[in-house]
Amino acid sequence: MAKRKTRGVRIHQFGGPDVLHIEDTLVDEPGLGEVRLDIRAIGLNRTEVTLRSGRSPIKPSLPTSIGWEAAGVIDEVGPEVENWRSGDRVALVPAYGAAQYALYSEVAIAPARSLVAIPDDQTFEQAAATWAAFGTAWAGLISVGNLKNGDTVLISAASSSVGLAAIQTAIRVGARPIALTRTSLKADELRAHGAAAVLAVEEVDVVQQVKELTGGTGAELVFDPVGGAGFSKLAEATATGGTLILYGALSAEPTVVPPFQVFARDLTIRGFAFPAVVRNDERLEAVKQFVSDGISSHALVPAIARTFTLDEIVEAHRFLESGNQFGKTVVSV
């Protein structure tokens, strides 16, 4: 098959949402270990916002395509790709960089090792809202954090797609999720989504509240994409011997690490990036199995805040950055 014409998003400079431009382009035939997809839905993530804005420590050469998560139908299979064929409905586990594949497009090349089949009862939009969120939650809570039955986990930015996925993931392994959010506006929704308790960090003393909820011991695990000055309070709310996992830097303020809390109470601070975790084939297969089983049993259900069209990509990024959403921002193609 020949190259295909498509429309896709490119950026020619780093900056705000307005740097996202839809352009006509050509998509090659898939190479070794690749497939070509007709994209039906795109999941938006803070990873792309960080790249687009120029805050990412890894900056691609400009102009660049962009995209990290998508779902669609296989158009063509490349050499040495087994078990997949044209017409299969698939989603992508984002085990690659946010500028490595042009997934903000109508047609795109994608790596076959990242493919997962979409269940018959799941829409393309739901599939595009699944794998970055639940994959990140699995990596942080299970693979890195070793969360287990009976543990308490503090989940910052709990109304984000990853935060909501982390609540469900914690429940699935028998742990107790405590949702942290800026204000109490989303408290009822978070409780309805499974949070055992909701703490509004701008309204209450988080350390005192966590101590009361845990009988004075603190939380065994903290799952935080924010950092900033509030990180020191999370350390105080962590149980002796506990772990704090930092997987983002949403706060523009420097992240404060209280040294006496860390060494006096034997705390562990860990960071991770999801693509690095799933470079290992065994871990990639483990996350595929965990999330697929959870989706099939309806123990894991993606939450979609709002759906945009590809022509509304600038507005979609503005909505994502507003912080007002409850769940995933999705683009339907």
- What is the pLDDT, as a whole number, of residue 57? 87
- What is the pLDDT, as a whole number, of residue 217? 97
Q: How far apart are CA 88 and CA 282, in angstroms?
A: 24
pLDDT tens string, the chain, 333 residues long: the values are 689 999 999 999 999 999 999 999 999 999 999 999 999 999 999 999 999 999 988 899 999 999 999 999 999 999 999 999 999 999 999 999 999 999 999 999 999 999 999 999 999 999 999 999 999 999 999 999 999 999 999 999 999 999 999 999 999 999 999 999 999 999 999 999 999 999 999 999 999 999 999 999 999 999 999 999 999 999 999 999 999 999 988 888 999 899 999 999 999 999 999 999 999 999 999 999 999 999 999 999 999 999 999 999 999 999 999 988 899 999 999
- The domains found in the chain, sorted by start residue, are 4-130+302-332 (3.90.180.10), 133-275 (3.40.50.720)
Residue 144 DSSP one-character state: I
> Six-digit token pair at 242?
């506990």
Bridge-based pairing state of the strands 34-44 and 89-92: unpaired
- What is the pLDDT, as a whole number, of residue 249? 86
Residue 269 DSSP one-character state: E
- What is the pLDDT, as a whole number, of residue 118? 98
Q: Are 90 and 116 in contact (CB under 8 A)?
A: yes
- What is the pLDDT, as a whole number, of residue 324? 84
- What is the pLDDT, as a whole number, of residue 10? 97
Place of tokens 């099939």: 296
- What is the pLDDT, as a whole number, of residue 24? 97
Residue 76 carries which side chain, given as an amino acid letter?
E
pTM above 0.85, yes or no: yes
Residues 6+ apart with CB under 8 A from 264: none
Bridge-partner residues for 37, per DSSP?
74, 108
> Six-digit token pair at 102?
């042009």
Q: How far apart are CA 195 and CA 30, in angstroms?
A: 43
Going along 54-139, which residue ranges are E strands?
64-65, 70-77, 89-92, 107-111, 115-117
List the one residue out of 43, 11, 14 whose CA is nearest residue 304.
43
- What is the pLDDT, as a whole number, of residue 1? 62
Longest dimension (CA), the chain: 65
